[in-house]
Structure 1
């Protein structure tokens, strides 16, 4: 029986582990794993790769660029995209670039099995049973991948509301003192004045605040996209914040099996320099687990930053919730 040569390309250890677990146990396959698009391309150029399972959002060369290079260089392998970016436009683009299938993260074993079977990669004797993998994953990588999946779902919702393609980043995960948080926020501000919307959340002993930063110079453009010029801009920002924060928290909650209750979104500062926002909130932030997501809207000079600030008290329980994903 032919052994399939499979290349998995994803910068997340957790994502690669979840993929390995989802592969049919009886499938005769030799797996190679790489973390970057550039490394994947180099390996495919060497020959012998039958199937590529490819992430989209990666540092350096992303999945779109890998697919474009495969087409340009006429390199032959069957490409399957497995991504958290589930925007309709993302799916359309990867299929147009030559990918044979798109699977949303985390890959469900049945969906992956059906996809592999539809591409003629499994025989009739290959069972659905999945395989085990013993690699351990650290907390930060696990949380980054969980947030990556959640932000992809949130972006798909936002893309439908705004009618644009959302360019997704790799989320940053850091444990920060208040002085370090100040620097992170100052960097997000890029010298601009901000309006910041804050919404508290709690569930299963995990609590924190979501902070959405809007650059004042971009608010009018956002209002035009939403066709909301006749409404007060703060009302618009509160609505948008509630949609984006709720979708992102819901995506996290689904994966770690909690239910978050959310407070009402509040405006922390309108047209305020970042130093004023920090001064007003210095006492309640203290030390925090900060997850930063910077969204950009393709074709528009619009960027906004979402920070999920988990309380220090939440870290132990959050670690336990992530443990079943990591081990």
Structure 2
């Protein structure tokens, strides 16, 4: 999905041959073969991420003009990629005019003289399935949330590749219980609805990390009530920004309920059992935010109702077309 959007954003008059890579290791192999004189590079990728690609380009002395195009829009992310040799940074999804202006400014695109017809290179035909497209939409949305979290807490947030699955709630319970391995957690839940798409966001906090959360937020909770307020404040930042990222891309407006505490110091099984009757089968987007240099991470689940899948599919297909 990311590559399809980016290829469609390329200037029509740019006569280039396009080589694609689905992860950083493939990209490096192509660059070593001389196929990547200009590289439009993502950051959040499997196998080898964009930071590692930039570092390896420098280590091997490979010549490539790199423009980073990423959903991770943290200020620190932009600083790091420039330090590693990137010439520019654009946020996803790339705006065609901004991309064109950037390429012109870097001398990578020569303006076509008046009266001379453009001779664009052939554009590859890309087919994208729903799950991969939703994963990319989630990737951009979580990047918006991470940037806000980074500014509020003064940290750098490491971002994963989101996981998208259609679960029976019982399957979701088993998967999460296995991942958490008996840890005690607190959870905040917030409902959302808009244009036939509805669901709930569930943010899981690990009890073993609550003291670190308090230090970052510069608060001193004196009991469960204070801690609950702290978690609700943090959930408002992450969930609100992530849903705003979804809404912007899908061109919808979500109405959101007030976040509420789903439970404290409980197992995943107990937290989800409280909602089994409501959720039944759910389309789940799983995102885990990790704070660099701290023993701290947040697990965010976006649980779309089964009845929302058809409308969500329509919106995703509109993006793909």
**TM over 0.5, shorter chain:** yes
TM bin, normalised by shorter chain, reads over 0.9
Counterparts of 2:36 and 2:166, CA distance in 1:
39
Please list the CA deviations of residues 245-266 of structure 1 after superposition, one character each: whole Å capped at 9, or x if unmatched.
Answer: 0100010001111100111111
SS where residue 202 of structure 1 aligns?
strand
Which 4+ stretches in 1 moved above 2 angstroms?
129-136, 187-191
2:197 equivalent among 190, 206, 214: 206
SS where residue 149 of structure 2 aligns?
helix
Please list the CA deviations of residues 47-66 of structure 1 after superposition, one character each: whole Å capped at 9, or x if unmatched.
Answer: 25310111101111110000
Counterparts of 1:29 and 1:46, CA distance in 2:
16
Query: More displaced, 279-288 or 205-214?
Result: 279-288
Matches within 5 A, 1:1-327: 14-125=1-112, 134-230=125-221, 232-327=226-321
TM-aligned CA distance change 1:159 to 1:131, over 3 Å: farther
The alpha carbon displacement at 1:188 in A equals: 4.2
The alpha carbon displacement at 1:133 in A equals: 6.1
Please list the CA deviations of residues 64-114 of structure 1 after superposition, one character each: whole Å capped at 9, or x if unmatched.
Answer: 000000001100010111000000000000000001111100000011001
SS where residue 267 of structure 1 aligns?
strand
The alpha carbon displacement at 1:135 in A equals: 2.3
For the 8 Å contact 1:25–1:131, the answer to whether it is kept is no
Aligned residues: 313
The alpha carbon displacement at 1:184 in A equals: 2.7
Counterparts of 1:177 and 1:216, CA distance in 2:
27
For the 8 Å contact 1:21–1:131, the answer to whether it is kept is no
Which segments of 5 or more consecutive residues in structure 2 lack a partner in the other structure?
A: none
SS where residue 209 of structure 1 aligns?
strand
TM-aligned CA distance change 1:188 to 1:211, over 3 Å: farther
The alpha carbon displacement at 1:288 in A equals: 0.2
The alpha carbon displacement at 1:190 in A equals: 3.5
For the 8 Å contact 1:199–1:210, the answer to whether it is kept is yes
For the 8 Å contact 1:193–1:215, the answer to whether it is kept is yes
User: TM-score, normalising length from structure 2?
Assistant: 0.94
Counterparts of 1:288 and 1:230, CA distance in 2:
34
For the 8 Å contact 2:250–2:316, the answer to whether it is kept is yes
For the 8 Å contact 1:167–1:298, the answer to whether it is kept is yes
SS where residue 40 of structure 2 aligns?
strand
Counterparts of 1:187 and 1:150, CA distance in 2:
26
For the 8 Å contact 2:142–2:245, the answer to whether it is kept is yes
Counterparts of 1:322 and 1:48, CA distance in 2:
31
SS where residue 34 of structure 2 aligns?
coil
The alpha carbon displacement at 1:304 in A equals: 1.1
SS where residue 20 of structure 2 aligns?
strand
TM-aligned CA distance change 1:18 to 1:48, over 3 Å: closer
The alpha carbon displacement at 1:183 in A equals: 1.9
CA RMSD of aligned residues (A): 1.7
Which segments of 5 or more consecutive residues in structure 1 lack a partner in the other structure?
A: 1-13
Counterparts of 1:238 and 1:311, CA distance in 2:
23
Please list the CA deviations of residues 115-141 of structure 1 after superposition, one character each: whole Å capped at 9, or x if unmatched.
Answer: 1111111122177x9997642311111
